[in-house]
Amino acid sequence: MPQLDGQALASTLDPQLHKACHGRLGAISWFRATWQHGGAGTGFSTWSLPDRTCGHREIPCVVKMPIGYSEYFWTKRLGLVHPDEWEEPRSLALPTPRVLAAGFELGGYDLAWVVMERFANPPLAMEKTESSMWEMFESAAEFQAAAILEKPIDMAQLKAPKDWADLVERGLVALKANEIEDADRWSKALEKVNGCLDGLIERWAGREIDTWCHHDLHPHNAMRRVMDEEQASQGSNLHGHCALIDLALVSPGSWVEDALYMERLFWGREEQLCNIDPLKTLGATREAIGLPASDEAFELAEVRRVLMAASSPAFLRTEGDPVYLKAALGVLERLLPRFIG
């Protein structure tokens, strides 16, 4: 394969991509999104969709290539719809982007690519309402349900466990090397964590692996489809169903992990959650569609919170926000007495 970055590679293989799409893909405007961390090339284009009245019509779409196996597998597996069913209520209610075309080979290279719907609305992070946050967790529950139906949990794809002991030790070193607020309280808290760390790690390692987790759940990765009144009359929400994007990190886990990931992002700025408790909300939305959300899972969440909070000082260079650190320390001091025998 040519030694090119994602953007240059995408431009180089542009003709092969159009050939693979059998003339339905329009001209591509490639760009580099500020939020992208991977090496994929991303572009806006149009797709010629069959239409019963006029033969075909152009709809906006997004092209991504090359993408990793996980993103390719889950985006295609959960989102691929037949062109004739593009605007059927079932398709409009998918919890992930609708997919127009995808493949894992291009121009003789092993290279995964996908053409999917383009969302006209901004991410849910721009709405900042209680209802939009709730809808995001509804989509998260629907995603977890759909992923389980599509593929049984494969423990071989379970992420390697974090080295929590090393993170706590690195945190203690960072506290000595940096001047931060409440350094003495942090040191005392981490020393207490060391006293019960083995038990915490054992409990978390023994958690029930009961779903495929998104593992990057936040309002910037939740998009809303645009609906018109005709579609709404067919049973769809006029405001548009929410869909989760960026499926590169999907892997097995406990359902609480997606909720706690989201919760941690807003430690110290809980008002931005619009009165939504991520864990309770995801639990409630899971139960509403027939998925379990046991008391044991909520208890396990406390273990994960302690481990996440205790690891915070280890990332002072990248996550040294004083507001976040103060909140993490508060979580640690509040929960530690439950685990110190």
Q: 168 in a domain, yes or no?
A: no
**Which residues, 6 or more positions from 190, have their beta carbon under 8 angstroms from its beta carbon?**
168, 171, 172, 175, 310, 313
Instruction: Name the band, by pLDDT with cuts 50, 70 and 90, for residue 39.
Output: low
Contact (CB, 8 A) for 332 and 306 = yes
Contact (CB, 8 A) for 193 and 332 = yes
The reply to whether 73 and 195 lie within a common domain is no
pLDDT recorded at residue 31: 79
The reply to whether 149 and 98 lie within a common domain is no
The reply to whether 136 and 107 lie within a common domain is no
Q: 165 in a domain, yes or no?
A: no
Q: 243 in a domain, yes or no?
A: yes
Q: 323 in a domain, yes or no?
A: yes
The reply to whether 108 and 183 lie within a common domain is no
Q: 44 in a domain, yes or no?
A: yes
The reply to whether 104 and 247 lie within a common domain is no
The per-residue pLDDT for range 110-153, each reduced to its tens digit, is 999 999 999 988 899 999 899 999 999 999 999 999 999 999 99
The reply to whether 152 and 100 lie within a common domain is no
Instruction: Name the band, by pLDDT with cuts 50, 70 and 90, for residue 40.
Output: confident
Query: How far is the CA of 263 from the CAs of 124, 259, 304, in angstroms?
Result: 16, 6, 11
The reply to whether 104 and 130 lie within a common domain is no
The reply to whether 56 and 141 lie within a common domain is no
Across the chain, what does the average pLDDT equal?
Answer: 90
Pairing assessment for the beta strands 211-213 and 251-253 based on DSSP bridges? antiparallel
The reply to whether 40 and 18 lie within a common domain is yes
Q: What's the structural domain count of the chain?
A: 2
Q: Flag whether pLDDT at 3 surpasses 50.
A: no
**Which residues, 6 or more positions from 247, have their beta carbon under 8 angstroms from its beta carbon?**
70, 71, 74, 75, 78, 96, 214
The per-residue pLDDT for range 190-240, each reduced to its tens digit, is 999 999 999 999 999 999 999 999 999 999 999 999 755 444 444 444 457
The reply to whether 52 and 147 lie within a common domain is no
Instruction: Name the band, by pLDDT with cuts 50, 70 and 90, for residue 160.
Output: very high
Contact (CB, 8 A) for 147 and 211 = yes
Q: 154 in a domain, yes or no?
A: yes
Q: Flag whether pLDDT at 17 surpasses 60.
A: yes
Domain with 35 in it: what CATH number?
Answer: 3.30.200
Q: Roughly how many angstroms between the first and final C-alpha of the chain, as a whole number?
A: 57
The per-residue pLDDT for range 51-110, each reduced to its tens digit, is 766 678 899 999 999 999 999 999 999 999 999 999 999 999 999 999 999 999 998 889
Q: 166 in a domain, yes or no?
A: no
Q: 313 in a domain, yes or no?
A: yes
Q: Is the pTM of this model over 0.75?
A: yes
The H-assigned helical ranges of 121-228 are: 130-150, 164-177, 183-205
CA angle 154, 159, 162 (to 5 degrees): 150
The reply to whether 152 and 238 lie within a common domain is yes
Domain that holds residue 57: 6-117
Q: How many residues does the chain have?
A: 341
Domain with 311 in it: what CATH number?
Answer: 3.90.1200
The reply to whether 148 and 99 lie within a common domain is no
